[in-house]
């Protein structure tokens, strides 16, 4: 516990002795004077330059290394920040002045790189002019499409009647007044900047903004912002969104931004269109995503982006154009239907050809011998000769046919059939001639 101070004391004595410095100089120095004559130069837009006097003797300045510690504090945070040791009694700093700022400085005496004495702080409050209730409220900006910027605010509660806000900005050393003022649908006032010079790959570029009153309303308290353009950038949407048949979605990061690929985060939104079920997926750095979906449904997919991994932007981009996934079943069904229709058409064509070719054949009567020779089979048990003897008692075939008709009073169609049978009987007659027996003689 006591080792460290003891070591430091020995080290200090040794180093002072060895560097030929008068030890009594430090020994007589009970306290170091704090800096004096603090001067503050307001460079507008919250930029300030500070000068001070160390208030240290020539002896000390000649024999010791003197440094200055500069710190600042916002009233709304309440903590002192920035403890850098400065080699010179001058410092530049930018503040959002309307938040209320205090600064403080102290002298530090070093010997061989070690602090041997410190002064008390010299402190100063930097006043923001005007009534705080006239300040622009809810101030917010969005940088979009590379070089355009909109800033909006609401009027302070105690804005003097007839007063108007004016917005000025400083970027890359150029100071301009914003030209296109508007009041939006929500009643916010705002201003649109069409062409903000694009910083080339400078990730720490800030735009300084001051919203104060017009020249005839100087009582408006100025609102100061130091805007990190990257945090307020709304990127253009990703483009070239595509879906491969293997359900891999790919896209391109928005073109024209010098941000490293790995800084981007993407949000995919998958909508099942029939049920309007929405799902979101997030991917970082890569520009593809493999979907796992029900192939029988119809979906739409869109992508948006923001910077997440390097710094986090405040806004998402707009959504990309939507791409659609058509259900696979519908696609197959379409093919099957087409094939079926083609097959059916070919069959109809084929059938009509067959029909034309065999029309006569199809409509001709097919004779049924069983019907005509019913008696032969039923009454004569298939004995042809007995049956023929009964059927043809006369030798004249024409008369025989007539007799049959009268006896059995058969309908006209049947007569025709019988006449065809009598024709068949020629064969029986032929048979008689060839065998020498008459048909009539048989019975
Ligand atoms: C330090 O400041 C005080 C008060 O301003 C002054 O009287 C004194 O002479 C200064 N000392 C030196 C060394 O500048
Ligand atoms: C430093 O501050 C303390 C407490 O405020 C005070 O007692 C002391 O005198 C100051 N020292 C100098 C050198 O101003
Ligand atoms: C973006 O800016 C380009 C050129 O500055 C312009 O052609 C384009 O229309 C703008 N797009 C949008 C969405 O404002
Ligand atoms: C910016 O303001 C202009 C003018 O009022 C408006 O047309 C544009 O849509 C705004 N853009 C964004 C991103 O807010
Ligand atoms: C408002 O601020 C701008 C930029 O700092 C300055 O040029 C202008 O004079 C200020 N206007 C008033 C009324 O203070
Ligand atoms: C999906 O298909 C694309 C294009 O055919 C191919 O580049 C990609 O590697 C495939 N992805 C997977 C996971 O198969």
Distance CA(432)–CA(418), nearest Å, equals 20
Kindly give the number of the ligand 4 atom that is closest to the alpha carbon of 182: 5
Kindly give the number of the ligand 1 atom that is closest to the alpha carbon of 53: 14
Q: What predicted TM-score, i.e. pTM, was given to this entire model?
A: 0.67
335: CA distance to ligand 3 center in Å?
43
Per-residue pLDDT of the chain (443 residues; tens, 9 = 90+): 444 454 544 454 444 444 445 556 676 677 889 999 999 999 999 999 999 999 998 888 888 889 999 999 999 999 999 778 999 999 999 999 999 999 999 999 988 888 888 999 999 999 888 888 899 999 999 999 988 999 999 999 988 888 889 999 998 888 999 999 999 999 899 999 998 876 555 656 789 999 998 766 667 899 999 998 889 999 999 999 999 999 999 999 999 888 899 999 999 999 999 988 999 999 999 999 999 988 888 999 999 999 998 889 999 999 999 999 988 755 566 676 777 888 788 888 888 887 788 777 666 655 555 655 566 566 666 666 665 655 555 444 444 344 344 444 444 544 444 444 444 444 444 444 544 444 444 43
Q: Does residue 33's CB lie within 6 angstroms of at least one atom of ligand 1?
A: yes
Q: Mutation test of ligand 1: which of 25, 36, 60, 120 has the most ligand atoms closer than 8 Å to its C-beta?
A: 36
Kindly give the number of the ligand 4 atom that is closest to the alpha carbon of 234: 13
Distance CA(380)–CA(387), nearest Å, equals 6
Kindly give the number of the ligand 2 atom that is closest to the alpha carbon of 32: 13
120: CA distance to ligand 2 center in Å?
6
Q: Mutation test of ligand 4: which of 192, 233, 318 has the most ligand atoms closer than 8 Å to its C-beta?
A: 192
Distance CA(120)–CA(23), nearest Å, equals 23
Distance CA(331)–CA(280), nearest Å, equals 26
> Residue 301: phi, psi to the nearest 5?
-130, 135
Q: Mutation test of ligand 2: which of 120, 121, 122 has the most ligand atoms closer than 8 Å to its C-beta?
A: 120
Strands 148-154 and 299-307: unpaired
């Amino acid at each position: 516990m006591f080792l460290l101070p003891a070591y430091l004391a020995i080290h200090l004595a040794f180093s002072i002795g060895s560097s030929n410095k008068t030890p009594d100089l430090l020994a007589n120095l009970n306290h170091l004077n704090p800096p004096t004559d603090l001067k503050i130069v307001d460079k507008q837009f919250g930029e300030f330059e500070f000068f001070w006097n160390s208030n240290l003797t020539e002896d000390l300045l000649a024999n010791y290394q003197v440094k200055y510690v500069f710190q600042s504090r916002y009233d709304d945070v309440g903590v002192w920040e920035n403890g850098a040791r400065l080699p010179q009694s001058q410092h530049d700093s930018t503040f959002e002045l309307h938040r209320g700022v205090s600064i403080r400085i102290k002298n530090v005496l070093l010997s061989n790189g070690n602090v041997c004495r410190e002064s008390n702080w010299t402190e100063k409050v930097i006043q923001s002019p005007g009534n705080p209730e006239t300040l622009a409220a809810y101030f917010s900006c969005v940088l979009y499409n590379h070089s355009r910027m909109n800033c909006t605010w609401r009027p302070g509660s105690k804005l003097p009647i007839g007063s108007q806000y004016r917005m000025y900005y400083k970027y890359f050393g150029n100071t301009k007044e914003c030209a296109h003022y508007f009041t939006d649908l929500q009643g916010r006032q705002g201003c649109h900047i069409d062409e903000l010079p694009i910083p080339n790959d400078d990730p720490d570029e800030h735009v300084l903004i001051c919203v104060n009153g017009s020249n005839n309303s100087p009582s408006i308290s100025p609102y100061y912002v130091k805007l990190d353009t990257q945090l307020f950038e709304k990127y253009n949407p990703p483009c070239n969104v595509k879906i491969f048949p293997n359900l891999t979605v790919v896209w391109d990061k928005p073109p024209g931004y010098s941000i490293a690929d790995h800084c981007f985060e993407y949000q995919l939104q998958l909508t099942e269109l029939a049920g309007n079920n929405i799902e979101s997926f997030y991917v970082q750095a890569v520009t593809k995503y493999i979907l796992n979906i029900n192939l029988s449904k119809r979906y739409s997919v869109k992508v948006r982006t923001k910077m997440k991994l390097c710094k986090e932007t405040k806004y998402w981009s707009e959504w990309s154009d939507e791409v659609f996934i058509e259900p696979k079943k519908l696609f197959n069904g379409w093919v099957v239907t087409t094939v079926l229709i083609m097959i059916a058409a070919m069959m109809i064509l084929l059938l009509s050809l067959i029909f034309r070719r065999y029309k006569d054949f199809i409509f001709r009567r097919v004779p049924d011998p069983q019907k005509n020779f019913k008696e032969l089979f039923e009454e004569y048990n298939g004995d042809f000769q007995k049956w023929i003897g009964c059927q043809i008692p006369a030798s004249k075939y024409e008369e025989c046919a007539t007799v049959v008709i009268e006896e059995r009073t058969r309908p006209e169609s049947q007569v025709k059939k019988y006449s065809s049978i009598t024709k068949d009987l020629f064969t029986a007659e032929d048979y008689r001639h060839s065998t020498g027996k008459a048909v009539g003689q048989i019975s």
